[in-house]
Amino acid sequence: MKNKTVKPTRCQFTILRQICNLIPEHLVPKLARQTKVDEQARTFKPWSHVVALLHAQLSHSISLNDVCDSLHLQAGPLSAIRGATPPSRNGFSHANRQRPPEMAQQLFWSVLEHLKGQSPGFGAGRRRGPAFRFKVPIHLMDSTVMELVANCLDWAKHRRRKAAAKTHLRLNFQSLLPACVIVDTAAEHDNERARELCAHLRPGEIVVFDRAYVDYAHLRHLDQWGIFWVTRAKETMSYTVVEQRPVPKGGKILRDEVIALKNPSQVGPERLRRVVALVEVDGKEKEMTFLTNHLEWSPRSVADLYRCRWEIEVFFKQIKQTLQLADFLGNNAKAVQWQVWTALLTYVLMRYLSYLAQWAHSFTRLVTLLRAALWEKYDLHQLLERYGTAGGHFRHLARPEQAYFAGF
């Protein structure tokens, strides 16, 4: 006798409506008034705009016509989402082009704080990976470049024939949630944004970043504020060795030194820790040099902390490959920012759902499942709890700690 497929419980609400219900009902009208978006909205209301952009992310729509046609075909179920209406192509384009993206930015941070308040464990996260022994918050800093169409986007000129936008981000390693985001053009260097990204760090916390964010004067300020950091050393760094510390023979740690910067233009901390270690990259061992202002950690801890930085690379890979940050629905700066902030909002909502359902599979699989069932009337939490193998047999999933990517 064949096993019968056990389907999730039917629900009176669509999956998209249940996802949108995670956003407090009063929030969008309140922010629309504060940012004066409601003054520009006549037939296409701010809430309908937000729902359309969320649908574009979840359905991976590649054009304005994709979004508008899909929502017009589902006008009935769409109206049940707090009265949302399908947009016209021109109306949707105009909203993306003219409405202040500050509303999308404030909506993202407000929803994130709301979800943290609803579930404190969601915001707190857990100790994970090679830095499990650290009890203080660990922050990861990096940026990602989103290529755009050069002949349409003069505001984002990056090179002679290229245009690009850049998102600078500080990610909390324990919760894997954004803590600071800056969306700008790709013309300026990363280290010009380092101070803004680190502005709200507290003494005793740890921040890890690549050498693109190295600004020696800024590193000195972090040291004075009692913030610990780990990065990679620049090849042009000029220094003198103050203390040579012993390292185990035959291990991965090659050198452990306390140094002082020698170049007068490099006004950094008075003493730095320089650790040289062998790190496996693409199956081959490569020599890497790390810098930190903490003089007491073991050299292995310094290397392990920098390994944590890979999680922000995974984060960017997830949102760029799974959500819609490749095909933009508008050509100007406001349209790009609306889409980036909505993608980050979608990511946070997906993270929250995975936390509630103790989702044990990848982020890609979660979004793909919800995309397939977007207009189905299933109970959302039961769908996530019962989803199993590709063969269709639902089963209870493994614990989140057994997932390949951290947090899933």
| C-alpha torsion angle, residues 158, 161, 162, 163 (rounded to 10) | 70
From the number of C-beta atoms within 10 Å of its C-beta (0-12, 13-18, 19+), residue 218 rates as: middle
Give the residue-averaged pLDDT of 274-294: 89
What percent of the chain clears pLDDT 70, i.e. is strictly above it?
A: 88
Give me the pLDDT at residue 170, please: 94
pLDDT tens, position by position, 211-258: 888 888 899 999 999 999 999 998 888 889 999 999 888 788 999 999
| Total-model pTM | 0.87
Q: Does residue 10 carry a pLDDT above 80? A: yes
Three-state SS letters, 337-348: HHHHHHHHHHHH
User: Cβ(257)–Cβ(273) under 8 Å?
Assistant: yes
Give me the pLDDT at residue 391, please: 37
Tokens of 63: 């054009």
Give me the pLDDT at residue 14, please: 95
What distances in angstroms separate CA 32 from CA 19, 38, 101, one per listed residue?
Answer: 20, 5, 11
User: Cβ(46)–Cβ(404) under 8 Å?
Assistant: no
Give me the pLDDT at residue 162, please: 55
